[in-house]
Homo-oligomer: A and B are copies of this chain.
Amino acid sequence: MELNEAREKFIEAWGAFGSAWGINRSMAQVHALLLISHEPLCTEDVMEQLNISRGNANMNLRALIDWSLIRRVLKAGERKEFFEAEKDVWKIATHITRERKKRELEPLVRLLQELEDVPGTSAEAKGFRRMTHDLHDLTTRLDTLLEHSTRRDVQWFVKAATTLLK
């Protein structure tokens, strides 16, 4: 496969993958483009290479900065902003999971905690409490796990588990 064809396929696949996991396709594609770009790119570059509008490019570049997946870069003698991606896949994984944990997992954990305290002695109330308690337990564990994950932990973690489970 040609390098250029490969680059396109990667951008497409990363976009589809993100999209399946509730991450806006353009955002994932902009991220993919920067991931495989050797040099930092400016907004125009992103617009051209992905065929998207200025507004779209701007919006998703900002979102990616927000997620700590890319950073602004200044080029000497250039007025406009350039962007480059974090290339360490462990950091990428950590930043994505942290962001989503904050946005979606934490609110769920908080609600489940409340729901565990629903009063009542009926079989229904008991069953409800058991369910929400178990879910709360699971989500809290996940939450803690992600909270304390650092690159080395994750590496150890996955390696240990992979070996053990092989």
Contact = CB atoms under 8 A, between A and B. Distances in A.
Nearest to A140: B162
Interface residues of A, number: 62
B141 A111 contact: no
20 contacts: A1-B115, A3-B125, A10-B128, A10-B132, A13-B107, A17-B108, A19-B22, A20-B22, A20-B103, A35-B131, A36-B131, A38-B123, A88-B134, A89-B135, A90-B138, A141-B159, A144-B165, A145-B158, A145-B162, A145-B165
Given A118-B6, A145-B161, A13 B111 contact: yes
A129 to B, nearest CB: 9
A66 to B, nearest CB: 16
A156 to B, nearest CB: 8
Given A125-B3, A165-B145, A111 B9 contact: yes
Instruction: Decide if the interface of chain A is mainly helix, strand, loop or mixed.
Output: helix
Contacts of A79: none
A52 interface: no
Contact of A115 (B9, B90, B131, B134): B9
Interface string A110-130: 010011011110111101100
A148 B117 CA distance: 35
A153 B162 CA distance: 11
